A and B are shown apart, each in its own frame.
Chain A
Amino acid sequence: MSTANQTTAQMAERVLDQVMSAGATGDLIVDEGETLSLKARDGELEEYKVSSSRIFGLRVIKDGHIGTAYSEAVDADALGSMVGQALNNASFGKVESHENILPNSDHLQTDDELLCPPEQVSIEQKIELALEIESKLTAKDKVKNVPYNGVQDITSQRQIFSSAGLNALTRSRMCAAYAYALAEDGEKNAMQGTSQVTRLFSGLNAASVIDKTYEKCIGLLDGKPVPSKHYDVIFDPDCQVSAFGVFAMMFSGKAAKDGINPMRDKIGSTITDSRLSIYDHPLNADGFGYHLFDAEGTATKKSELVVEGCLQTLIHNSATASYFDSETSGHASRGPRSTLGVKLHQVEIAKGSEDLSTLHSGEYLELTDLTGLHSGANAISGNFSFGASGYLCKDGERIQAVRGITVAGNFYEMLNKISMIGNQQHWNEGRSALMPSIRFSDVAISG
């Protein structure tokens, strides 16, 4: 039977009928997307990319065995083959008594007005923005070129269907602009960049991307190492979110089940400075980590992870929750190509009490760029060693640009060496997490 004129829901129904006919249960994720991507070079459009994609990802459970398979081809043969592969794959797995298709027959849909607002924007306006960012940055003093830049408009949609009757739909839009400029001054050079994301194209601000990128480039052009010793360190919002992201496994119920989460036995214990409270807040629609439901269709809610230094809970899907005799926290993650896992949606750290002048008192290093984030970190032990750039500061003044240094230590120990927490929260550039600035003390810097 041809699938050419069938809707996604009809194809999903057909797939799940085949799963149930084989005596199994299952759920199906269908991800679809449309992307426009523009890049500029020397005042001209260098790349213009359009795409449309669709992928089906199936999970089946038969006699307690789990199997997954996916297909980008959506004709009846390909989808039938996907079902066969998933069932075959299941036959090799051990019995996973804790993993089941949830008895959830909800029909859920996110608010298009909120996440995918309509907007009339011409392609010319998008091209103009890409050209403006590249040409105005290139024209600035000491900027040699802007080798990496672009404007994107991405609409993505996810549908989840299950043999229990779940039918969940979310659709969202993200417009982005980014630029990485190379600045040169004699023998010295620096390459830095910024990005911006919004729901509406009209929300993108070329001047902001240009000015921030230029400021970062020029600021670090004279950068040099500082003497090796222990410093107080404040990460900028992006670096701080990245650092927390690298060690996010500390909250993973799946990693705990697998025996590799060092916090597995520390629920109820103090694991950080008592002034630190960490939440996951998927329902804050100002961020791009907004999720109304997780990959199993479970409704999400704000979760307390750490309150005043005490670990409250790990994050769970229904399988890890069952293993620990607990409830799912609405943190199931699964892509069409992957198995069931857990994932934080949108981390939020509660603001502290220190105003900017107190936070910035005395000498400290402000780190604005970290490199080697994943290769230089061990989330199991907490040890890390990153390349870094930024500024040596005194009483809020940047007194020296700093490059060619490393910052090293143990992240889990660092959470107990917090000197101050700022009283204002900031989004990172990707608007995926909301945190105040944290001043860490006694951090090893090599220069």
Chain B
Amino acid sequence: MLNNQTAESVIDHALSLGADFAELFVEKNETNVVSTLSDEVQSVESGINFGIGLRLVYGTKVLYGYTNKTDRDELLRIASVLAAKDLRDPVSTLKSFNFSHISDIHPASKILSVDAEIESKVAYLVASDRAARAAGEQISQTRGSCMQREQHVEIFNSEGLHTNDRRNYIRSSLTAIAADGNEQATGSWNDGGLLGWEIAADLDPQRTGEEAARQALVNLTAKPCPSGRMPVIIGNGFGGVIFHEACGHLLETTSVAKKASVFHDQMGEMIASSIVSAVDDGTMANEWGSINIDDEGMPTQRTQLIKDGQLTNFLVDRIGAQQTGFARSGSGRRESYRYAPASRMRNTFIEPGDARMDDMIASIDKGIYASHMGGGSVQPGTGEFNFAVTEGYYIEDGKIQYPVKAATLISTGPKVLKEISMIGQDFSLACGMCGSISGAVPTTVGQATLKVDDILVGGNA
């Protein structure tokens, strides 16, 4: 996408201005989104994003610029503007580019640049809508979407790295709305991966529609949630979002290096219950959060974050490695050329245990079973978090009693890690978008159903 001569002259120029390190990140991506409203196509949108990001590093200071233009003069201009306040005699020289072919461990076949397969996607979404409506008369509407993206990246740096990668993303979702008089409730389903539309072979519109409808219908009958401190069982799959947000972000050197993480000085310490082991893994075949190489050109890896409760690794990008002394973990990621890379998660999960669901429920006098979690937020410095329960049930005397609505879970990441007392066997993953300092990147969360002994539940009963 950018010729070697231009890349070489820009990086050479940056080094001549005294930069320790210079990098070009060239990106072109094509996106197509098919949206349906009930059984009709609402819109088909498509487009091309293209740009180049230039990063200069002086010590640990990062200078970053980007442009949509590819001409050499514009890139040289940006380098000069960035370096204007840090000019010094050269301290590094460019090593000649050595193109490294990456092995594609996440192959895709039905890719966007070959065929957007719009008819097939519309057929799947419409069939999902019909399945949802057939699940109950109270299902008043559905909203469906299929997003497909093909991202090409090319990376050059002053250490001689030259590599490229092609990433194919596909994600589909369906939201069902149930209505009863003035009451309305929603349910949703989504799936995705680092692959092409061949994912359709695993998508069952009947299951998609029925699951979204089931959740909406349950929520339509839900009662206000009791509030207060109580044990909570958190469902598998997307339930892992709590670990991701409240603990995973605190293990990124983006927070660790700034001492904005409560875990910044706890390497090797017991930071979780001894039954907790957690991993961030970019190598899982065709998973939504997987990558071949990170956005600094380093091959991805599996990183054990916590082993039997002990903190074993942080997620480390180039600058984080420089600032903390920990080895890079292939975790430098960014949404697009508009962002400098930062340490970010990939597929992040708590490893399964051996507890049985029945035993977890039977162990609770009064508590909540949060079978499906929604989004939330976390305060990175303190680990305080807040997550919405999108499908939840009240438990009393060891039995599930009734569905609850508008429940929120509040605690801190470090506290919850220590309060996990049982982990089940029903491990699964779920995909989402993670927003942080380097933009929104695809990430997967996961866990088996697990029990936390004490969380503040917010409700309005």
Contacts and interface: CB of A to CB of B under 8 A. Distances in A.
B146 to A, nearest CB: 12
B460 A408 contact: yes
A376 B386 contact: yes
Interface string B15-49: 00000000000001000001001001111111111
A380 interface: yes
Contact of A386 (B37, B46, B49, B386): B386
A381 B61 contact: no
A145 B82 CA distance: 26
A188 to B, nearest CB: 10
B122 interface: yes
A407 B458 contact: yes
Interface residues of B, number: 73
Contacts of B140: 259
Interface in A395-430: 403-410
Contacts of A182: 259-260, 381-382
Contacts of A259: 140-141
A72 interface: yes
| Chain A contact residues: helix, strand, loop or mixed | strand
A57 to B, nearest CB: 8
Contacts of A191: 260, 379-382
B405 A383 contact: yes
A70 interface: yes
B136 interface: no
Nearest to B261: A147
| Chain B contact residues: helix, strand, loop or mixed | strand
Contact of B227 (A72, A189, A444): A444
B63 A71 contact: no
A133 to B, nearest CB: 15
Contacts of B382: 182, 189-191
Nearest to B141: A259
Contacts of B156: none
B183 interface: yes
A389 B177 CA distance: 32
A378 B222 CA distance: 14
A120 interface: no
Contacts of A72: 47-51, 68
Contact of A54 (B28, B68, B376, B457): B68
A314 to B, nearest CB: 17
A53 B66 contact: yes
A52 interface: yes
Given A50-B82, A387-B385, 11 more contacts: A48-B85, A49-B63, A51-B66, A53-B338, A258-B37, A339-B43, A371-B385, A373-B377, A374-B375, A383-B406, A409-B460
12 contacts: A49-B63, A50-B81, A51-B65, A51-B66, A72-B51, A93-B42, A147-B259, A258-B37, A337-B45, A380-B177, A381-B185, A406-B386
Interface of B: 28, 34, 37, 40-51, 60-68, 78, 81-82, 84-85, 118-119, 122, 140-141, 177, 182-186, 225, 227-228, 255, 258-260, 262, 338, 340, 374-377, 379-382, 384-388, 405-408, 410, 456-460
